[in-house]
Amino acid sequence: MTMEKTFSILKPDATRRNLTGAINALIEKSGLKIIAQKRIHMSKAQAETFYGVHSERAFFNDLVEFMISGPVVVQVLEGENAVVAYRDIMGATNPENAEVGTIRKEFAESIEANSVHGSDSLENATIEMAYFFSGTELVG
């Protein structure tokens, strides 16, 4: 077991329905600690860069429009094996396939509006958190 940091976003469908506290409660119940958090409204350029890996996918333009359709909450989470631990409590990308008790099963509206983002690797977590936070904003 190793202490890790991962990067999280509470997406516009979550802020629109006032679910940020409910989702944070599940994050904290899992043992992950929110060591940085801020509410922002992403620019189109920011969203396009953040999801650049998906730029060739059919859903890319819709995804970018969705991510800038309202405010989001960007977060850094810390804990044992945080990258995989957060992916586990997020649940599957498509909420229809997500397990009971996961964030996406409880809250997601659709495969696109699925309430949360979580980094898929330690390497990407480091890149993603540096995109939104400076080191001095992480308070463990």
| Residues in contact with 111: Cβ distance below 8 Å, sequence separation at least 6, in sequence order | 93, 94, 95, 96
Residue 57, token pair as written in the block: 């996918």
The option from ligand ADP, Mg ion, none interacting with 114 (CB < 5 to 8 A, set by class) reads ligand ADP
Length of the chain measured in residues: 140
The option from Mg ion, ligand ADP, none interacting with 75 (CB < 5 to 8 A, set by class) reads none
Binding letters toward ligand ADP, positions 66-105, x by CB under 6 A: ---------------------------x------------
d(CA 89, CA 64): 24
Does 117 engage in binding with ligand ADP (CB under 6 A)? Answer: yes
- Say whether 117 is catalytic: yes
**What beta strand segments (E) does the chain contain?**
3-10, 33-40, 72-80, 116-118
From 14-22, 78-86, 109-117, 127-135, span contacting ligand ADP (CB under 6 A): 109-117
